[in-house]
Amino acid sequence: MTKIGIIGAGKIGKAFARHAAKAGYDTLISNSRGPESLRPVVEEIGQGIKAGTTQEAAAADIVFLAVPWNKLEEAVAHVPSWENRVVIDATNAVLPGFVPADLDGQASSEVVASLLPGSKVVKAFNTLLAAVLAANPQEEGGNRVIFYSGNDAEAKRTVLDLINRIGFAGVDLGTLNEGGRLQQFPGGPLPALNLVKLK
């Protein structure tokens, strides 16, 4: 069974965790405060999920990264290796006070990839508002769209399989530099866009 590790237990992390656990994935959620602090979250979501450390989450087959931008480096710093790990980057480059982070000309996911040497980063799940992401992905006779982009074709296929399995419809935007900029918040045209792909 594919194991999913979630780093970040805010609204986006919890919404994704609920979908992943419901779809039958072996799901582990983590935060900076430790597993014990996540007991209410685990009890709320129910079967298929447990709490763990950031290091345990980072050792999963697929890692879902959903931490505030100003906490990003701290969140990933203690992971011994990211080699060949498929990482879904659901972060947005916004600092406290709703200030855009200085990315020095890079796409935000390229910055994330530079912090995770050896990983295969796929940008996804960052464009929907948390309440929309948490809702039933099957709506109006179709499936809600999740945009994704990345530089590794195999990693993108893995993420697309996950997107489909939990009930969404994936739309491939290309590389991190091209598609990642379209998805990026702030700056890209796609954040907060709620589309449904009809069957």
Mind listing the pLDDT tens digit for each residue in 86-142? 999 999 999 999 999 999 999 999 999 999 999 999 999 999 999 999 999 998 889
Residues of the chain with pLDDT under 50: none
The reported pLDDT for the residue numbered 28 is 98
Domain extents in the chain: 3-198
Q: In Å, how far from its chain's centre is CA 87?
A: 8
The reported pLDDT for the residue numbered 1 is 76
> How many Å apart are CA 176 and CA 75, to the nearest integer?
21
User: Of the candidates 7, 18, 68, which has an alpha carbon nearest to the alpha carbon of residue 41?
Assistant: 18
> How many Å apart are CA 72 and CA 106, to the nearest integer?
16
> How many Å apart are CA 91 and CA 130, to the nearest integer?
12
The reported pLDDT for the residue numbered 47 is 85
CATH class of domain segment(s) 3-198: alpha beta
The reported pLDDT for the residue numbered 141 is 87
**For 166, left (φ over 0), alpha (ψ -120 to 50), or beta?**
alpha
**Residue pair 4/64 in contact by the 8 Å Cβ criterion:** yes
